[in-house]
């Protein structure tokens, strides 16, 4: 959402906006992955840069604002992004760097308030009501966060300050890049009602089409439509939800940081694969990556699932729940391969596979038991040794022999496993 699409209501008088009661902050890093990658390439600052695989059929992970001016957006196919902005420099993603920087940024947020709700690696809601006495009013806290992130991590963020999560997120979008927008309590309604209906939470393509058929184009139109009309068109829950948002009502509080509900990895191949041996190699790499993230988060899980997307974009998932939680790479891989082989695919052309773990809980609460056929120093010990080596020498320093690239191979190369 850009500044050109909507603007803050005009206030009478001069001076900064009143932030009384605006205790919800939404902090959003500015083109986070691109900004982080440019720390090692200062020569590219101010130029169009796209983060993604230079070749193949991957998607855009991030793009600088210079590239976005050409229409490049996150999740856009790389082929289309490069057509829109052929002069852009394409840099490969560095997920280890992004994870480290995200952890550091979240620690900055936690130093302000423990009431923190991360939404992803690069954005979070904060409830700063308990920090006002110690750090000052919300606007001061927002500026403190921006200054600290920039000083410590050398990247920028934008902050929305408002009485509710819904309005704070809208405000941070208006603040981009590298700014802060405050929506005072008494300006919430005019601020919200100037927006197009598509700006409301919960309005996807179908809902927007339904609203447009009713002649409702702005949030103000929704606000002044009888509730019975909305519920008849959108259902009781959907109609009431949009009606409340149209008047700036969002009672949800910031949900204090919780453990991840699921962890997983997907891989889109450079070329469709139909060789089960190559699919197994990808499942191994994805299982290793997923297990490493699960262990790093201090979790273990019982449900393992795979996702398979075919060349025609048909997608299926299969899952299996284990008797005991696990964080062991080999167990995750064996389950994932078993699920895949059970599909009975015969030379089907596969575009993407993924591995995911659900039903996660802290490892100290997980009754992980040694297997009867496991030696004294088994797979769990090996995983932890690999984790220590990776922490010291970098991701991929130690990996299964079958994932080491073969210099001479008659098989088609698998997609990027980085």
- State which residues form the domain around 206: 194-246
Catalytically active residues, by annotation: 123
Asked if 153 and 212 sit in the same domain, the reply is no
Mean pLDDT of 243-272: 84
Q: Which two tokens stand for residue 199?
A: 């700006």
382-388, long-range: CB within 8 Å, 24+ apart, which pairs?
383/291, 383/292, 383/295, 383/327, 383/328, 383/329, 384/295, 386/292, 387/292, 387/295, 387/296
| Cβ-contact 137, 144 below 8 angstroms | no
* Whether residues 164 and 277 fall in one domain: no
Would residue 62 count as lying in a domain?
yes
* Chain segment 146-184, per-residue pLDDT in tens: 999 999 999 999 999 999 999 999 999 989 999 999 999
Q: pLDDT: is 383 or 127 the higher one?
A: 127
Residue 315's pLDDT is what? 86
Same domain, 167 and 101: yes
Give me the pLDDT at residue 95, please. 86
Residue 32: name the closest of 115, 95, 114 by CA: 95
The answer to whether residues 345 and 376 belong to one domain is: yes
In sequence order, the 6+-apart residues with CB closer than 8 A to the CB of 150 are 156, 157
Closest CA to 16 of 258, 181, 219: 181
**Could you tell me the CATH number of the domain that includes residue 43?**
3.30.70.270
CA distance 392 to 101: 17
From 143, 165, 184, the end of a domain falls on: 184
Same domain, 74 and 205: no
Parallel/antiparallel/unpaired status of strands 116-120 and 123-127: antiparallel
Angstrom distance (rounded) from CA 155 to CA 88: 20
* Binding region for Mg(2+): 28, 122
Does 60 share its domain with 164? yes
Domain boundary among 160, 184, 208: 184
Note whether 180 and 199 are same-domain residues.
no
Counting beta carbons within 10 angstroms of the beta carbon of residue 183, is it exposed (0 to 12), middle (13 to 18) or buried (19 or more)? Answer: buried
Determine how many CB atoms are found less than 10 A away from the CB of residue 377: 9
Residue 73, in any domain of the structure = yes
Q: Does residue 279 carry a pLDDT above 80?
A: yes
Q: What are phi and psi of 335, to 5 degrees?
A: -70, -45
Q: Is 363 part of any domain? A: yes
* Structural domains counted in the chain: 3
Q: What is the CATH number of the domain that holds 221?
A: 1.10.150.20
From the list 151, 206, 150, 199, the residue with the least C-alpha distance to 178 is 150
In a domain, 129, yes or no: yes
Is-above-0.85 flag for pTM?
no
Judge whether 104 lies within some domain. yes
Q: Are residues 35 and 139 in the same domain?
A: yes
């Amino acid at each position: 959402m850009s500044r050109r699409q909507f603007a803050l209501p005009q206030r009478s008088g001069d001076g900064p906006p009143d932030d009384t009661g605006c205790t919800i902050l939404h902090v959003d890093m500015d083109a986070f992955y691109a900004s982080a990658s440019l720390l090692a390439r200062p020569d590219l600052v101010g130029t169009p840069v796209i983060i993604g695989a230079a070749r193949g059929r991957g998607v855009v992970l991030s793009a600088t604002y210079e590239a976005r001016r050409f229409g490049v957006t996150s999740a856009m196919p790389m082929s289309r992004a490069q057509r829109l902005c052929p002069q852009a420099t394409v840099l490969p993603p560095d997920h280890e760097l992004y994870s480290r920087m995200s952890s550091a940024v979240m620690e900055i947020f936690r130093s302000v308030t423990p009431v923190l709700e991360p939404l992803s690696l690069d954005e979070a809601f904060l409830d700063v009501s308990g920090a006002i006495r110690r750090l000052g009013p919300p606007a001061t806290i927002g500026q403190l966060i921006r200054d600290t992130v920039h000083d410590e991590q050398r990247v920028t963020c934008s902050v929305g300050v408002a009485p509710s999560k819904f309005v704070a997120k809208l405000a941070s979008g208006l603040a981009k890049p590298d700014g802060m927008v405050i929506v005072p309590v008494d300006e919430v309604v005019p601020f919200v009602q100037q927006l197009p209906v598509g700006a409301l939470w919960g309005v996807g393509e179908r809902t927007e089409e339904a609203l447009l058929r009713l002649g409702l184009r702005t949030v103000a139109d929704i606000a002044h439509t009888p509730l019975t009309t909305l519920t008849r068109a959108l259902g009781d829950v959907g109609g009431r939800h949009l009606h409340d948002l149209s008047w700036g009502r969002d009672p949800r509080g910031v949900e204090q940081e919780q453990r991840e509900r699921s962890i997983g990895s997907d891989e889109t191949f450079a070329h469709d694969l139909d060789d089960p041996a190559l699919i197994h190699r990808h499942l191994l790499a994805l299982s290793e990556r997923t297990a490493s993230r699960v262990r790093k988060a201090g979790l273990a899980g019982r449900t393992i699932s795979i996702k398979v997307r075919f060349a025609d974009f048909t997608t299926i998932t299969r899952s299996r729940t284990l008797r005991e939680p696990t964080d062991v790479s080999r167990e995750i891989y064996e389950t994932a391969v078993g699920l895949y082989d059970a599909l009975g695919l015969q030379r089907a052309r596969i575009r993407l596979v993924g591995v995911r773990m659900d039903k996660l809980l802290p490892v100290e609460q997980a009754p992980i038991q040694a297997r009867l056929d496991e030696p004294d120093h088994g797979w769990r010990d090996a995983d932890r040794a690999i984790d220590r080596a990776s922490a010291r020498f970098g991701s991929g320093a130690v990996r299964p022999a079958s994932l080491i690239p073969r210099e001479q191979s008659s098989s088609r190369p698998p997609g990027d496993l980085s």
